[in-house]
Amino acid sequence: MTMIQAITHTLAQAMERDPDVLVFGEDVGPNGGVFRATDGLHAQFGEDRVFDTPLNENLIVGAAIGMAAYGMRPVPEIQFMDYIWPAYDQLVNEAAKMRYRSGGEYTCPMTVRTPYGGGIRGGHYHSQSGETPFAHTPGLVVVAPSTAHDAKGLLHASIENDDPVVFMEPKALYRAAKGDVSEGYYKEELGKAAVRQEGTDVTIVSYGSTMPMSLKAAAAAGEQDVGVEVIDLRTIYPWDKETVLKSVKKTGRLVVVNEAPLTAGFASEISATVAEEAIEYMEAPIKRVTGYDTPFPYTLEGLYMPNPNKVMQAIEEVINF
The set of catalytic residues is: 126
By C-alpha distance, which of 200, 194, 256, 202 is closest to 231? 194
The length of the chain in residues reads 321
Q: What is the DSSP string of 252-277?
A: S-EEEEEEEESTT-HHHHHHHHHHHH
CB 112 within 8 A of CB 83: no
Task: Please say whether the beta carbons of 68 and 24 come within 8 A.
Answer: no
End-to-end CA distance of the chain: 42
SS (H, E, C) 74-122: EEEECCCHHHCHHHHHHHHHHHCCHHHHCCCCCCCCCEEEEEECCCCCC
Q: Cβ neighbours of residue 123 under 8 Å, at least 6 residues apart?
A: 296, 298
Cα separation of 301 and 305, whole Å? 6
Residue from 73, 68, 53 nearest 11 by CA: 73
CA neighbor of 235 nearest in space, from 151, 299, 125, 293:
151
The two beta strands, 165-170 and 111-116, are parallel
